[in-house]
Amino acid sequence: MTFKLYLPILCVVFCISCTTKQKKPEISNIAESYIFEAPVTPSCHASTIVEIEPNHLMVAWFGGSAEGNKDVGIYLSSNPGGSWSAPRNIVTPLITEEDTLPCWNPVLYKSSSEHLYLFYKVGKNPREWFGAMLTSSDDGKTWSDPQYLPEGILGPIRNKPIETKPGLLLCGSSTESVESNEWRVHVETYDESAGKWQKIPVQNTKNFEVIQPTFLVHAEGKIQMLCRSKHDRLVTSWSEDIGASWSDMEMTEIVNSNSGVDAISLTHESFLLVNNPLPRGANWYNGRNMLDVEYSTDGIQWEKLLDLENQEKGEFSYPAIIQTSDDKVHIVYTYDREYIKHVSFDVDR
């Protein structure tokens, strides 16, 4: 009798809970701009964004005559609450005795210790590049000389790290082999106080071809990664111990055109993903003509929230997303390799 009395009530409560949990957030106050009005280089790509302090943003990207060319360096612009500053070339290609090596994939991050980092890669190509970083103690007004990371350490390969405890950065990284262009993901941690790096493997018994992970924080100790792949879907792995070990990789239902993605955790049950949601085409750039923002409450089931770009052709890719201290969401991405576009909006949950 007690069971019969409470069962309908429990069902109603459960249904109400599910309806509330699955409610899509509302987007408002969408603003769009370009980091620069006139291109400073013939080509640009792979932007990254960080909040320096409230109402002060900074963006970096690589630029030159074309990706991989020997004139490609890292450029930076900041916006202290008004307009974007003129881009400045903060890292130039590395000139060695044997060659000139271009720069790749900058990643900006400011830790709780107030250290501002600019991680990037140097090398002929993604199969032979190595990791480097600059640091700043004055919010990017001045920067250290380049510091090259230990052998076998690449740093955050494309997306921002997360800080699992004060002074410990968890970085999603990956490699592309020289012999077979095999893609594999791993994780690296950086201990700020000790200046030490540690490499952590990620199980991949199905041999998924994956690179460029981004992280979602679900709860205390539980972290999910989402990875770009060659399989028309994103691939995922989970950690239950704050990134110290990772589950075997699994395919998701998230369609992706073999292009970089980025994501943020609004809460432990509310997530945003920026994604090119089309399958691959004959050429590497096919499918990058559409870029959207997707929403999930569990990191598994995702639904479109809005289109950032949906055009017949064009390349809109390699997004970076953050949520600033005023709860506003900011996204930057490549716009046809000519511009870096910035979109911001409010999220009402």
Which residues pair with residue 262 across a beta bridge?
274
Q: How far is CA 200 from the centre of its chain?
A: 19
Per residue in 199-213, pLDDT tens? 999 999 999 999 999
Residue 32: which residues within 8 A CB-CB, separation 6 or more? 341, 342, 343
Is residue 184 over pLDDT 60? Answer: yes
**DSSP type of residue 15:** H
12 φ, ψ (degrees, to nearest 5): -65, -45
The mean per-residue pLDDT over the stretch 55-80 comes to: 97
Is the C-alpha dihedral spanning 200, 226, 334, 317 positive or negative? positive
The mean per-residue pLDDT over the stretch 263-291 comes to: 94
Which residues pair with residue 345 across a beta bridge?
329
Residue 198: pLDDT band by 50, 70, 90 thresholds?
Answer: very high
The mean per-residue pLDDT over the stretch 173-183 comes to: 94
Is the C-alpha dihedral spanning 155, 332, 209, 71 positive or negative? negative
Matching residue, tokens 């370009």: 34
The mean per-residue pLDDT over the stretch 81-90 comes to: 93
Collapsed DSSP state (helix, strand, coil) of residue 18: helix
Percent of the chain with pLDDT over 70: 93
Percent of the chain with pLDDT over 90: 88
Per residue in 134-151, pLDDT tens? 999 999 999 999 999 999
